[in-house]
Amino acid sequence: MHLPSVAVPAVLISEVGPRDGLQSVKTIMSTADKIRWINALHASGIREIEVGSFVPASSLPQLADTAELVRHALTLPGLTVMALVPNLRGAQAALASGVHKLTIPVSASEAHSLANVRKSRDEMVATVRDIVALRNALAPGVKIEAGVSTAFGCTIQGAVPEDDVIRTAALCVAAGVDESGLSDTTGYANPAQVGRLFRRLRAEIGDKAGAAHLHNTRGLGLANCLAAYEAGVRTFDASLGGLGGCPYAPGASGNVVTEDLVFMFEAMGVCTGIDLAKLLAAREPLKAGLPGEALYGMLPEAGLPKGFVQDAVHVD
């Protein structure tokens, strides 16, 4: 019996909306609505989701149900379940929940680091080292990524020297993380800068260079993603409907829209493994869970081009 060939995804689209998107929305989305949204994302072919963050409920009540969401997400086949942790206590809770991957924000900007996690850059690297030791002792199979935030500029400090960015990533790798990516926390990046920094990152830490987490604050999100792709990046964070931003970086709104990013790659012939029609349908449970919240995206507004046919996508 001849079985149709299935294209292997050339890039990994990591959906961060349930964490990065919801932390910036004042409305608290119900757990049931979040579960319906996560199910729809998984049904579209998304295979990595940052379902929340292990932080005190008093700080981010929008994410207070993260442990419950992890329990549900672990039942979805083939899904890498990811959570953000800013400190050792959060890492302990995340590892106890059974997540597959931890992400740790480590700011290249001293001012942003103090505002975001109340620790200096060097103190955060020490925290990374402690989290790695905890992971090694309790759950050695769990992956850890250190995301270097404010890598392209900071709304508090202003310009962030590129040497500081690369040094921060290298220190995190030396502390034992599996990978370190770069985050445009403030939406300041431009394509030339993105390409240059990711090439430097790959030259410094090789195959431990991680995801591109880029924002569309000033309309350059997709251009920056393309520059990162051309620099060798193959994992991209994005948020359905463009939800998100950093509450500790004033004015830094707007993650890259998952729908637009997937369309860009698929239109280029770069396989994502994601069914565009099902991905667009995943906006419905998001709208239902956040009535009245503005969602963004050019593809959802314009629709697919006439005659556009996505290559066959196999969704388990």
CA 170/CA 139 separation, integer angstroms: 23
Burial of 95 (0-12, 13-18, 19+ CB in 10 A): buried
Is residue 246 annotated as a catalytic residue, yes or no? yes
What are the tokens at 128?
């990374």
Exactly one of 154, 172, 246, 271 is catalytic; which is it? 246
Amino acid at 144: I
CA 188/CA 214 separation, integer angstroms: 9
DSSP conformation letters of the chain: -PPPP-PPPSSEEEE-IIIIIGGG-SS---HHHHHHHHHHHHHHT--EEEEEE---TTT-GGGTTHHHHHHHHTTSTTPEEEEE-SSHHHHHHHHHHT-SEEEEEEESSHHHHHHHHSS-HHHHHHHHHHHHHHHHHH-TT-EEEEEEETTT-BTTTB---HHHHHHHHHHHHHTT-SEEEEE-TTS---HHHHHHHHHHHHHHHGGGEEEEE-B-TTS-HHHHHHHHHHTT--EEEEBGGG--B-TTSTT-B-BPBHHHHHHHHHHTT---S--HHHHHHTHHHHHHHSTT-----HHHHH-SPTT--PPP----
* Catalytic residue IDs: 246
